[in-house]
Amino acid sequence: MGSGWKETSGGPIEYIPLKKGFIRGDPGESLRTGRPVARTLYVRLRNSLVLAGIAFMLVMPLALLLGLVAGLREGSIRDRVLSVGGMMFSVIPEFATGIFLILIVAIWWGVVPGATVFGEKAPWERLDMLVLPVLTLTLIELGYILRITRASMVEVMRAPYIRTAFLKGLPYWRIVSKHAIRNALLAPITVIMLHINWLMGGIVIVEVVFGYPGLGKYLLDSALYKDINALEAGAMILVILAVGTQLIADIIYTFLNPRIRYR
């Protein structure tokens, strides 16, 4: 265990992050565990990146595809089913979805474990324990991205240039692939990049429900213990991630919309 908070002379001086080399990547020792924060944070960040990366690669292509399919046929049965299903999954809290999946898949069916106990192993060495956390994140993100993509596609299909393309006699597949999809992806790209930050900083609930040793759970435990060094390092990583993802989104915009390219 770490030394925790204690009254010493010169405490405010020792607290200054520059004293411990925080800018140089050395946030000091954890008040909770007594171990170097950088070493522990690396393992927790790696675990969260694995979990969020798998969920991201599954949910984003699927949500974009289903959203585009629903938006192409506004008001159809397919559109109604996808919209209502997406809304149901997006409004259910993360902890409720996780507990329901543990009850049904892990306890009743006994297909996969209901908790993530890795020990010294890396997450990819026990893929069966990643099924339920990834499925929980996928169901939550799927509905929201699907509805955003569907609304964007509906708006694009009502645009004057789309009607003009139909009047010119262009094939339907060409209108959709060459004109509609590119413009319809502008709004979802913004939401997707914002949700990368949520996947990293907001999966704390999912990690706590399944006992997943990730960055979110680490920051929660540090906050409850008032571990300043660990909180500073974790917050800095999340800020860097947020700025980096928004920069990537701006770069992607230049390929989707030539009008905003810098010359």
Per-residue pLDDT band at 24 (split at 50, 70, 90):
low
Instruction: Pull the structure tokens for residue 184.
Output: 């319809």
Q: Does the pLDDT at position 221 exceed 80?
A: yes
Question: Nearest Cα to 216, choosing from 191, 198, 239?
Answer: 198
pLDDT digits over 86-114, tens only?
888 888 888 888 899 999 998 999 888 88
pLDDT digits over 252-262, tens only?
777 766 666 65
Task: Please give the share of the chain, as a percent, with pLDDT higher than 90.
Answer: 2
Assigned CATH for 30-260: 1.10.3720.10
Give the span between the Cα atoms of 157 and 172, in whole angstroms: 11
Instruction: Pull the structure tokens for residue 136.
Output: 């929980």
Q: Kindly list the domain boundaries of the chain, sorted by start residue.
A: 30-260
Task: Please give the share of the chain, as a percent, with pLDDT higher than 70.
Answer: 86
- For 225-251, what is the mean pLDDT? 84
Question: For position 25, what pLDDT does the model report?
Answer: 67
